[in-house]
Amino acid sequence: MARPGINIVRRTFLGFSLVLVGVGRRALAQSVDVSGYAPLSRPVRVPLDSVATPWRTVPFTAEATSVATAEAPARRVVLKGVLYRKTMEDGASGLSALCVTCPHELCPVDLVTDPQRLARMDDAKSPLFECGCHFSKFDAREDGEWVSGVAYRGLFRFRVSAAGTDAEITHIEEEALSVV
Protein backbone atom coordinates (compact mmCIF):
# COMPACT_ATOMS: atom_id res chain seq x y z
CA MET A 1 0.00 0.00 0.00
CA ALA A 2 1.45 3.40 -1.06
CA ARG A 3 2.03 6.16 1.49
CA PRO A 4 -0.27 9.30 1.27
CA GLY A 5 2.71 11.68 0.71
CA ILE A 6 3.91 9.76 -2.33
CA ASN A 7 0.38 9.74 -3.76
CA ILE A 8 0.24 13.57 -3.58
CA VAL A 9 3.60 13.86 -5.38
CA ARG A 10 2.37 11.40 -8.04
CA ARG A 11 -0.87 13.34 -8.55
CA THR A 12 0.98 16.66 -8.82
CA PHE A 13 3.44 15.16 -11.31
CA LEU A 14 0.59 13.65 -13.33
CA GLY A 15 -1.29 16.96 -13.31
CA PHE A 16 1.75 18.92 -14.52
CA SER A 17 2.41 16.32 -17.18
CA LEU A 18 -1.13 16.59 -18.52
CA VAL A 19 -0.87 20.39 -18.61
CA LEU A 20 2.46 20.14 -20.48
CA VAL A 21 1.03 17.67 -23.00
CA GLY A 22 -1.95 20.00 -23.54
CA VAL A 23 0.26 23.05 -24.03
CA GLY A 24 2.53 21.11 -26.39
CA ARG A 25 -0.37 19.90 -28.52
CA ARG A 26 -1.83 23.41 -28.65
CA ALA A 27 1.51 24.89 -29.70
CA LEU A 28 1.83 22.23 -32.41
CA ALA A 29 -1.71 22.92 -33.58
CA GLN A 30 -0.94 26.64 -33.73
CA SER A 31 2.01 25.94 -36.01
CA VAL A 32 -0.63 25.27 -38.70
CA ASP A 33 -2.10 28.65 -39.48
CA VAL A 34 -5.80 29.28 -39.92
CA SER A 35 -5.61 29.20 -43.71
CA GLY A 36 -4.68 25.51 -43.65
CA TYR A 37 -0.98 25.95 -44.37
CA ALA A 38 1.80 24.42 -42.32
CA PRO A 39 5.31 25.89 -42.08
CA LEU A 40 8.19 24.17 -43.81
CA SER A 41 11.00 23.00 -41.53
CA ARG A 42 13.12 25.67 -43.18
CA PRO A 43 12.29 28.09 -46.00
CA VAL A 44 13.37 27.22 -49.54
CA ARG A 45 14.99 30.06 -51.45
CA VAL A 46 15.20 30.14 -55.23
CA PRO A 47 16.87 33.00 -57.17
CA LEU A 48 14.19 35.04 -58.93
CA ASP A 49 16.40 35.16 -62.02
CA SER A 50 15.83 31.45 -62.54
CA VAL A 51 12.08 31.96 -62.98
CA ALA A 52 12.26 35.04 -65.17
CA THR A 53 10.98 33.10 -68.17
CA PRO A 54 7.26 32.32 -67.89
CA TRP A 55 6.29 28.66 -67.47
CA ARG A 56 9.86 27.47 -66.95
CA THR A 57 9.74 25.22 -63.88
CA VAL A 58 12.50 25.13 -61.29
CA PRO A 59 12.40 21.97 -59.16
CA PHE A 60 13.02 22.09 -55.41
CA THR A 61 12.69 19.83 -52.40
CA ALA A 62 11.02 20.98 -49.19
CA GLU A 63 10.60 19.46 -45.77
CA ALA A 64 7.90 19.73 -43.10
CA THR A 65 6.55 17.80 -40.13
CA SER A 66 3.04 16.43 -40.08
CA VAL A 67 0.83 16.99 -37.07
CA ALA A 68 0.20 13.91 -34.95
CA THR A 69 -3.32 12.52 -35.13
CA ALA A 70 -5.13 9.69 -33.40
CA GLU A 71 -4.26 7.47 -36.38
CA ALA A 72 -0.68 8.49 -37.06
CA PRO A 73 2.23 10.00 -35.13
CA ALA A 74 3.96 13.15 -36.38
CA ARG A 75 6.48 12.40 -39.10
CA ARG A 76 8.97 14.12 -41.35
CA VAL A 77 7.62 14.66 -44.87
CA VAL A 78 9.79 15.41 -47.90
CA LEU A 79 7.94 17.17 -50.71
CA LYS A 80 8.92 17.61 -54.34
CA GLY A 81 7.90 20.94 -55.77
CA VAL A 82 8.34 23.28 -58.70
CA LEU A 83 8.45 27.05 -58.78
CA TYR A 84 7.42 28.87 -61.95
CA ARG A 85 6.30 32.24 -63.23
CA LYS A 86 2.80 32.21 -64.64
CA THR A 87 1.30 34.75 -67.00
CA MET A 88 -2.36 35.65 -66.89
CA GLU A 89 -4.65 36.44 -69.81
CA ASP A 90 -4.34 40.18 -69.11
CA GLY A 91 -0.54 39.96 -69.32
CA ALA A 92 0.10 40.17 -65.57
CA SER A 93 2.52 37.66 -64.12
CA GLY A 94 3.08 36.01 -60.75
CA LEU A 95 4.92 33.23 -58.98
CA SER A 96 3.43 29.86 -58.21
CA ALA A 97 4.94 26.97 -56.25
CA LEU A 98 3.23 23.59 -56.39
CA CYS A 99 3.86 20.09 -55.10
CA VAL A 100 4.38 17.88 -58.16
CA THR A 101 3.09 14.71 -56.52
CA CYS A 102 -0.44 13.93 -57.68
CA PRO A 103 -2.87 13.85 -54.72
CA HIS A 104 -4.60 10.84 -56.28
CA GLU A 105 -1.95 8.14 -56.10
CA LEU A 106 1.25 10.10 -55.62
CA CYS A 107 2.49 9.78 -59.20
CA PRO A 108 4.63 12.54 -60.74
CA VAL A 109 2.88 15.40 -62.54
CA ASP A 110 4.50 17.45 -65.29
CA LEU A 111 3.79 20.86 -66.76
CA VAL A 112 2.57 20.75 -70.35
CA THR A 113 3.07 23.94 -72.34
CA ASP A 114 3.24 22.59 -75.91
CA PRO A 115 0.19 24.04 -77.74
CA GLN A 116 -0.27 20.86 -79.81
CA ARG A 117 -0.43 18.70 -76.71
CA LEU A 118 -2.68 21.16 -74.96
CA ALA A 119 -5.02 21.05 -77.95
CA ARG A 120 -5.30 17.29 -77.40
CA MET A 121 -6.24 17.93 -73.77
CA ASP A 122 -9.84 19.02 -74.29
CA ASP A 123 -8.55 22.02 -76.22
CA ALA A 124 -6.90 23.60 -73.19
CA LYS A 125 -5.93 27.24 -73.72
CA SER A 126 -3.28 27.60 -71.03
CA PRO A 127 -0.59 25.32 -69.56
CA LEU A 128 -1.70 22.33 -67.54
CA PHE A 129 -0.01 19.94 -65.16
CA GLU A 130 -0.73 16.34 -66.09
CA CYS A 131 -0.37 13.16 -64.05
CA GLY A 132 1.58 10.51 -65.96
CA CYS A 133 -0.25 7.56 -64.40
CA HIS A 134 -3.95 8.42 -64.51
CA PHE A 135 -3.89 11.60 -66.57
CA SER A 136 -5.58 13.96 -64.12
CA LYS A 137 -5.11 17.55 -65.23
CA PHE A 138 -4.50 20.71 -63.21
CA ASP A 139 -4.57 24.35 -64.26
CA ALA A 140 -1.09 25.89 -63.98
CA ARG A 141 -2.46 29.43 -64.34
CA GLU A 142 -4.86 28.82 -61.44
CA ASP A 143 -2.17 27.50 -59.08
CA GLY A 144 -2.81 23.81 -59.77
CA GLU A 145 -6.59 23.84 -59.55
CA TRP A 146 -8.21 20.53 -60.53
CA VAL A 147 -9.44 20.45 -64.15
CA SER A 148 -10.28 16.80 -64.86
CA GLY A 149 -9.51 13.20 -63.92
CA VAL A 150 -9.67 11.02 -60.85
CA ALA A 151 -7.60 13.24 -58.53
CA TYR A 152 -9.92 14.33 -55.73
CA ARG A 153 -8.53 17.86 -55.54
CA GLY A 154 -5.98 20.24 -57.07
CA LEU A 155 -2.24 20.07 -56.57
CA PHE A 156 -0.97 20.97 -53.12
CA ARG A 157 0.20 24.57 -53.02
CA PHE A 158 3.24 26.09 -51.37
CA ARG A 159 3.15 29.67 -50.09
CA VAL A 160 5.72 31.72 -51.98
CA SER A 161 6.75 35.36 -51.89
CA ALA A 162 9.56 37.54 -53.21
CA ALA A 163 12.35 38.22 -50.71
CA GLY A 164 14.99 40.48 -52.23
CA THR A 165 16.54 38.69 -55.18
CA ASP A 166 15.02 35.36 -54.17
CA ALA A 167 11.66 33.70 -54.10
CA GLU A 168 11.05 32.36 -50.61
CA ILE A 169 8.87 29.29 -50.15
CA THR A 170 7.74 29.02 -46.55
CA HIS A 171 4.54 26.97 -46.14
CA ILE A 172 2.73 23.98 -47.63
CA GLU A 173 -0.96 23.15 -47.57
CA GLU A 174 -1.42 21.14 -44.40
CA GLU A 175 -3.36 18.36 -46.13
CA ALA A 176 -0.27 17.46 -48.16
CA LEU A 177 1.42 16.27 -44.99
CA SER A 178 -1.12 13.52 -44.41
CA VAL A 179 -1.37 12.49 -48.08
CA VAL A 180 2.21 12.35 -49.39
Q: Which residue in 51, 67, 77, 82 binds another protein (CB under 8 A)?
A: 77
Q: Which is nearer to another protein, 56 or 135 (CB)?
A: 135
Minimum Å distance from CB 17 to another protein?
Answer: 29
CA distances, 47 to each of 52, 76, 162, 166 (Å): 9, 26, 9, 4
Query: Does the protein bind another protein through residue 74 (CB under 8 A)?
Result: no
Q: Which residue in 83, 124, 151, 172 binds another protein (CB under 8 A)?
A: 151
Task: Decide: residue 50, CB within 10 A, 0-12 exposed, 13-18 middle, 19+ buried.
Answer: middle
Candidates 13-21, 84-92, 116-124, 160-168: pick the segment binding another protein (CB under 8 A). 116-124
Helix (H, G, I), strand (E, B) or coil at 17: helix
Q: Which is nearer to another protein, 22 or 108 (CB)?
A: 108
Query: Does the protein bind another protein through residue 107 (CB under 8 A)?
Result: yes
| CA separation for the pair 86, 93 (Å, rounded) | 5
Q: Which is nearer to another protein, 33 or 110 (CB)?
A: 110
Query: Does the protein bind another protein through residue 114 (CB under 8 A)?
Result: yes
DSSP 163: E
| CA separation for the pair 84, 114 (Å, rounded) | 16
Q: Which residue in 104, 113, 166, 168 binds another protein (CB under 8 A)?
A: 104
Q: Which is nearer to another protein, 89 or 114 (CB)?
A: 114
Query: Does the protein bind another protein through residue 103 (CB under 8 A)?
Result: yes
Query: Does the protein bind another protein through residue 76 (CB under 8 A)?
Result: yes
Residue 38: phi and psi, rounded to 5, are: -115, 145
DSSP string, 100-148: -B-TTT--BEEEE--HHHHHHTTT-SS-EEEETTT--EEETTTTTEEEE
Which residues contact another protein by CB under 8 A?
63, 75-80, 101, 103-108, 110, 112, 114, 117, 120-121, 130, 132-133, 135-136, 149-153, 179-180
